[in-house]
């Protein structure tokens, strides 16, 4: 393997990141990374278990003199969001990530980097590699399918875990100590349409180049949703004579704000359709925030198409424009904290079926209940099948935490500055773990990773070195 990250300390940390980056690990396909981690642990003589969900649990004995210190659990997830730029040839099922070092940053060549959460996996591997000279029993839990609803951690047998203090290494900013997170829910709607018997002249309409981003971390920033943009555009065209939808495709993951969306649509007068679409898009794009100013709109001739009926076109537009997306409510207790949001994440057309996938998040269980009820009602109103699933619980902030205090002290002593404590509007595995092990004292930490879930994702290499210094000092504090 040709090394890309040279001259950074500890070298083992960056070597481990490069090693796992060479292993394909899309969500639901973690078998190769799980086998690698299991072998990594067993080669060092550690207890290691790999379950049917491809979670891997490892226990490393304490060093001499540290046997009586309570154990610590390090936890990270092995899967990654697989997004790539248009025109990039990359098979996430077969190809490793092509790493690029650009000054102080590490990114991938046109794809997501996988530092979410590859850097967490690499940190835990580096502890297992013996880079910490004195430590208590260290347990490591590498979970699967985190990015698609926390599937792996929900299936893990926590009776294996003896530790009652845990470092979740799945954050995105050095110096940020997360101590609470929201719960979530996924909703899948499927509208089975009926197509008209006659071909209709059609156009291809495309929005692309939106900033996208994480549907929890970035939802409050006002970033535009390409699917919602297309829905509003199509709604504005729906009164044109003969307007029909033939297909709609956009987004890639329910937990990523859609960056692009395209529609095949027909009308009696294609020229009038094109003019109206371009006028709406010009006005819409001019109102976007600066982060989305790279977005573009295009109209292309498509030829003839079999379109959905007028009634099914209307049903589809109802779902696209009436489902809530973005921030729904801010916290009254913490005004800067998003309490409830929804993301219209994916729409795909296959034959006569249009699938619409949404992700709801809230720190209040009753609000997740409301999302489920509202989306179910919207689906039924429009004759769509609906499934609500992958619900996970939130993680309640603990007023008192010895682990948090120890980590804050370690950060201060290692780096000479103070870390910040926060609660995030994103789903962390900590919520599920808290539900299963309610006496677990835990925090979520990591180096700085920018633009998660997009091909612009990048790891701050200086922050990774600083993070490791903090981990070293944390074990000294123990």
Each residue's pLDDT tens digit, 428-470 = 899 889 889 999 999 999 999 999 989 999 999 999 999 999 9
Q: Where in the chain is the domain with CATH 3.40.630.10?
A: 11-182+394-477
For residue 105, give Cα distances in angstroms to 5, 343, 447, 454, 456.
Answer: 10, 29, 12, 15, 11
Query: What pLDDT band is residue 386 in, cutting at 50, 70 and 90?
Result: very high
**Which is catalytic among the residues 131, 139, 146, 429?**
146
pTM > 0.95: yes or no: no
Q: What percent of the chain has pLDDT over 90?
A: 88
d(CA 296, CA 293): 8
Q: Where in the chain is the domain with CATH 3.30.70.360?
A: 185-392
* In the predicted structure, residue 335 carries a pLDDT above the cut 80: no
* In the predicted structure, residue 351 carries a pLDDT above the cut 70: yes
CB distance 169 to 74 below 8 Å: yes
For residue 109, give Cα distances in angstroms to 14, 227, 351, 453.
Answer: 18, 26, 33, 14
258-263: average pLDDT: 98
Judge: domain 185-392, CATH 3.40.50.150.
no
Active-site residue flag, 146 = yes
Query: What pLDDT band is residue 193 in, cutting at 50, 70 and 90?
Result: very high
100-114: average pLDDT: 97
Active-site residue flag, 79 = yes
Report, at the CATH architecture level, how domain 11-182+394-477 is classified. Answer: 3-Layer(aba) Sandwich (3.40)
**Which is catalytic among the residues 38, 79, 292, 429?**
79
* Strand partners for 360: 185, 342
For residue 250, give Cα distances in angstroms to 204, 215, 226, 342, 360.
Answer: 13, 15, 7, 16, 18
Average pLDDT, the chain: 95
Cα angle vertex 209, ends 206, 215, to 5°?
105
* In the predicted structure, residue 22 carries a pLDDT above the cut 80: yes
190-205: average pLDDT: 96
Question: What pLDDT does residue 375 have?
Answer: 98
């Amino acid at each position: 393997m040709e090394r890309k990250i040279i001259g950074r300390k500890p070298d083992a940390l960056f070597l481990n990141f490069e090693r796992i980056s060479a292993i394909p690990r899309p969500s639901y396909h973690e078998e190769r990374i799980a086998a690698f981690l299991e072998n990594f642990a067993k080669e060092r003589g550690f207890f290691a278990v790999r379950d049917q969900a491809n979670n891997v649990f490892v226990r490393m004995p304490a060093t001499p003199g540290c046997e009586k210190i309570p154990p610590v659990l390090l936890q990270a997830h092995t899967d990654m969001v697989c997004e790539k730029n248009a025109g990039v040839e990359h098979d996430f099922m077969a190809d490793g990530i092509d790493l690029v070092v650009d000054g102080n940053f590490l990114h991938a060549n046109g794809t997501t980097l996988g530092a979410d959460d590859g850097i967490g996996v690499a940190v835990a591997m580096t502890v297992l590699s013996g880079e910490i000279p004195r430590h208590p029993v260290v347990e490591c839990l590498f979970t699967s399918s985190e990015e698609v609803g926390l599937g792996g951690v929900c299936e893990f047998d926590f009776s294996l875990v003896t530790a009652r203090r845990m470092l979740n290494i799945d954050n995105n900013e050095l110096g940020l100590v997360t101590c609470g997170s929201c719960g979530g829910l996924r909703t899948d709607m499927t509208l089975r349409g009926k197509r008209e018997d006659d071909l209709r002249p059609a156009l291809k309409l495309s929005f692309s180049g939106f900033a996208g981003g994480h549907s929890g971390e970035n939802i409050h920033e006002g970033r535009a949703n390409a699917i919602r943009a297309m829905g509003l555009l199509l709604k504005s065209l729906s009164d044109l004579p003969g307007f029909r939808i033939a297909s709609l495709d956009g987004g890639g993951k329910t937990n990523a704000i859609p960056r692009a969306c395209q529609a095949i649509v027909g009308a009696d007068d294609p020229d009038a359709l094109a003019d109206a679409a371009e006028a709406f898009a010009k006005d819409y794009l001019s109102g976007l925030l600066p982060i989305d100013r790279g977005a573009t709109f295009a109209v292309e001739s498509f030829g003839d198409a079999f379109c959905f009926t007028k009634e099914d076109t209307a049903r589809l537009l109802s779902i696209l424009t009436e489902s809530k997306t973005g921030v729904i409510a801010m916290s009254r207790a913490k005004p800067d904290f998003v309490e409830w949001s929804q993301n219209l994440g994916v729409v795909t057309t296959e034959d006569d079926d249009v699938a619409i996938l949404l992700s709801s998040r809230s720190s209040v269980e009753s609000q997740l209940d409301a999302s489920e009820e509202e989306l179910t009602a919207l689906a039924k109103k429009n004759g769509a099948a609906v499934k609500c699933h992958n619900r996970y619980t939130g993680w309640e902030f603990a007023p008192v935490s010895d682990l948090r205090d120890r980590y804050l002290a370690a950060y201060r002593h290692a780096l000479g500055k103070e870390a910040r404590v926060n609660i995030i509007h994103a789903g962390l595995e900590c919520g599920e773990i808290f539900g299963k092990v309610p006496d677990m004292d835990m925090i979520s930490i990591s180096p700085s990773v920018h633009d998660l879930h997009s091909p612009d994702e990048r790891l701050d290499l200086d922050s990774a070195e600083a993070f490791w210094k903090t981990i070293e000092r944390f074990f000294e504090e123990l």
